[in-house]
Amino acid sequence: MDIAVRAHLNGWKFIYLNDVKVLCELPESYEAYKKQQHRWHSGPMQLFRLCLPAIITSKISIWKKCNLIFLFFLLRKLILPFYSFTLFCIILPLTMFIPESELPLWVVCYVPIFMSLLNILPAPKSFPFLVPYLLFENTMSVTKFNAMVSGLFQLGSAYEWVVTKKTGRSSESDLVSYAERESKSSSEEKLLRRHSESGLELLSKLKQAEAPPKKRNRLYRKELALAFLLLTASARSLLSAQGLHFYFLLFQGISFLVMGLDLIGEQVN
């Protein structure tokens, strides 16, 4: 990203080759995805602090400067996470407990739907997943907002660099599994040398060694706290007969609960 900004400030132009196909892979667990999104939103905010003087004093046109500042940095990496977190996770559920306050419909529905439609325009096949995408993005806004603040103000978590764990051929897990296979083969040879043990004992030990480790779900306190707030607000909305807010708060609270209990993804040790 730093190289792309410097090249753009120097007047370079780029050609995107759409026919080039590259294998890609999703993170293996929710924890790995959180670490990835934290890095992807904290790093751009640090880069924004460093590149802002160079962008302002560069010789490119004012339109390109505005494009870099507002669209390349601020909109996707700062404004959207801040908007999603403050509005859908804090302000909207709290308004259910204050009868005098009322959010207009365009703030709750039209603005997020419009921004989501802009995001899926390059991929029209993603339209059926618009509602799950909205719920998941609002849930991830907690991680993105935290990463944005830490990167913008240079907090301690901004300096963390955790590589995303994946289970592909070229990932770190392959090296681990290869080392485990080597250790298993050596342990099998040692077991075969022990003539005092019977074949059934050897077989049972090999099965125990090959048994995959059980997944241990982690508990995420922030997601669980927001799930409690949203589900309580949905119950309050149901009692006050606010139908539209009730459905949104209910499904958003369930999505936070699923994330908080680590019921998404697959944890691979």
Q: How confident is the model over 1-31, as pLDDT tens digits?
A: 899 899 989 888 888 888 888 887 788 788 8
CA separation, residue 26 to residues 29, 128, 166, 167 (Å) = 9, 20, 7, 9
Of 139, 131, 129, 152, nearest to 227 by C-alpha is 139
% of the chain at pLDDT higher than 90: 11
Output the 3-class SS for the chain.
CHHHHHHHHCCCCCCCCCCCCCCCCCCCEHHHHHHHHHHHHHHHHHHHHHHHHHHHCCCCCHHHHHHHHHHHHHHHHHHHHHHHHHHHHHHHHHHCCCCCCCCCHHHHHHHHHHHHHHHHCCCHHHHHHHHHHHHHHHHHHHHHHHHHHHHHCCCHHHHCCCCCCCCCCCCHHHHHHHHHHHHHHHHHHHHHHCCCCCHHHHHHHHHHHHCCCCCCCCCCHHHHHHHHHHHHHHHHHHHCCCHHHHHHHHHHHHHHHHHHCCCCECCCC
Residues 81, 40 contacting (CB under 8 angstroms):
no
% of the chain at pLDDT higher than 70: 73
| CA 142 from centre of chain | 9
**Pair of tokens at residue 70:** 């507002």
Indicate the pTM of the whole model. 0.72
The Cα–Cα gap between 33 and 37 comes to 6
Given pLDDT bands bounded at 50, 70 and 90, which one contains residue 241? Answer: low
**Pair of tokens at residue 48:** 């924004």
- pLDDT digit string, tens, across residues 188-200: 555 555 544 455 5
The Cα–Cα gap between 98 and 87 comes to 15
The Cα–Cα gap between 146 and 163 comes to 18
- pLDDT digit string, tens, across residues 116-160: 677 677 777 777 887 888 888 888 888 888 888 888 888 877 777
Q: Is the pLDDT of residue 45 over 70?
A: yes
Of 123, 105, 124, 5, nearest to 65 by C-alpha is 5
